[in-house]
Amino acid sequence: SKTPARVNTPLSVITEAFENLADLLKPAEKDEEEIGLRLDAFCNACTHVSILFSCLGFAFKFAEMEYISKVKDLVEASKSFDTLQNILDLDVEKETVKTPGSHSRNLRRVRQGLDLIRAIFEQFLMTDEYSLKDAATTAYTQVCAPFHTWAVRTAVYAGMYTLPTRDQLLLRLDETDQSVEKNMRRYMEASLPIIEYIDKLYIERNIKLDW
Ligand code: 1PZ
């Protein structure tokens, strides 16, 4: 008998989007890196992340709205700016890189979201005994907490107690233990060069990453 065709899971869709994006940064297409990563391509991958939020429950509605509003701003920006470099260059010129609501600030926030997901997956796969709550708490403490206000940190740590269990998460993501490991590792691998690429854009312009 034939195995039924495997439906794309939310995680495989996200992973594939970031693999395609990471391909644009590969040596064979080095020219692309010279010209710069296209903003519309970046936004397209970032938009896919939204699927994950529906697995997290009500407590993370705020995080979802925050993330989506930042991505939306970058989607708007992509109508007038071709590349990630372009938005940074303009904000550098206007001295608005860190100004609330600026494209460069929102890019930094979205980058932190992508890194947070990467860190959560990394923690999640460290051991089977690890609850999603503990994995997410450790990852958040490492990646995002240093840059968030006390009020936001407190809300996030309280929300962690409402996260689904490991098994509930796998069920909601439509993954098995094996498939989730494969897909999370693929995301971790694909997102890292993109995160590093974004960091480099700021560093090259003498912008410290302590915010
Ligand atoms: C499957 C994994 C489950 C783990 C869930 C962990 C979720 C942690 C949520 C962190 C929420 C932080 C929300 C608020 C952040 C705001 O302070 C800043 C304000 O930026 P400003 O307007 O001052 O420039 N907003 C952001 O940083 C926008 C992006 C935050 C959302 C990241 C979520 C990452 C995705 C989690 C997994 C789906």
184 in contact with ligand 1, CB cutoff 6 A: no
pLDDT digits (tens, 9 = 90+) for 187-211: 999 999 999 999 999 999 999 999 9
Q: What is the pLDDT of residue 146?
A: 97
Q: What is the pLDDT of residue 3?
A: 57
Residue 209 lies in a domain: no
How much of the chain, in percent, has pLDDT values that exceed 70?
93
67 in contact with ligand 1, CB cutoff 6 A: yes
**Per-residue confidence band for 104, with pLDDT thresholds at 50, 70 and 90:** very high
Separation of CA 30 and ligand 1 centre (Å): 32
Q: What is the pLDDT of residue 129?
A: 86
Residue 3 lies in a domain: no
Q: What is the pLDDT of residue 35?
A: 76
Residue 1 lies in a domain: no
CA distance 195 to 111: 6
4 in contact with ligand 1, CB cutoff 6 A: no
CA 178, chain centre distance (Å): 22
Mean pLDDT of 100-117: 98
Ligand 1: residue whose CA is nearest its atom 13: 63
| pLDDT surpasses 60 at 29 | no
CATH for 28: 1.10.3520.10
Residue 2 lies in a domain: no
| pLDDT surpasses 70 at 138 | yes
Residue 155 lies in a domain: yes
Separation of CA 29 and ligand 1 centre (Å): 32
Q: What is the pLDDT of residue 59?
A: 84
CA distance 160 to 143: 15
Q: Residues 115, 143: contact at Cβ < 8 Å?
A: yes
Residues 16-31 as b/e (b if ≥16 CB within 10 A, e otherwise) read bbbeebbebbeeeeee
Question: What stretch of H or E contains 142?
Answer: helix 132-143
**Per-residue confidence band for 21, with pLDDT thresholds at 50, 70 and 90:** very high
Separation of CA 157 and ligand 1 centre (Å): 12
Mean pLDDT of 148-162: 96
Mean pLDDT of 132-153: 97
Ligand 1: residue whose CA is nearest its atom 11: 63
Query: Structural domain tally of the chain?
Result: 1
70 in contact with ligand 1, CB cutoff 6 A: yes
pLDDT digits (tens, 9 = 90+) for 157-176: 999 999 999 999 999 999 99
Tell me the best of 56, 58, 66 to mutate to test the pocket of ligand 1, counting ligand atoms within 8 Å of each CB and taking the most: 66
Residue positions counted in the chain: 211
Question: Which ligand 1 atom sits closest to the C-alpha of 53?
Answer: 38
Residue 58 lies in a domain: yes
Tell me the best of 60, 71, 124 to mutate to test the pocket of ligand 1, counting ligand atoms within 8 Å of each CB and taking the most: 60
Domain range enclosing 50? 10-204
Mean pLDDT of 142-166: 96
The interface predicted TM-score of the complex, written ipTM, equals 0.92
Residue of higher predicted confidence among 90 and 60 = 90
| pLDDT surpasses 90 at 44 | yes
pLDDT digits (tens, 9 = 90+) for 50-89: 989 988 888 889 999 999 999 999 999 999 999 999 999 9
Q: What is the pLDDT of residue 56?
A: 84
CA angle 12, 18, 21 (to 5 degrees): 140
Ligand 1: residue whose CA is nearest its atom 23: 100
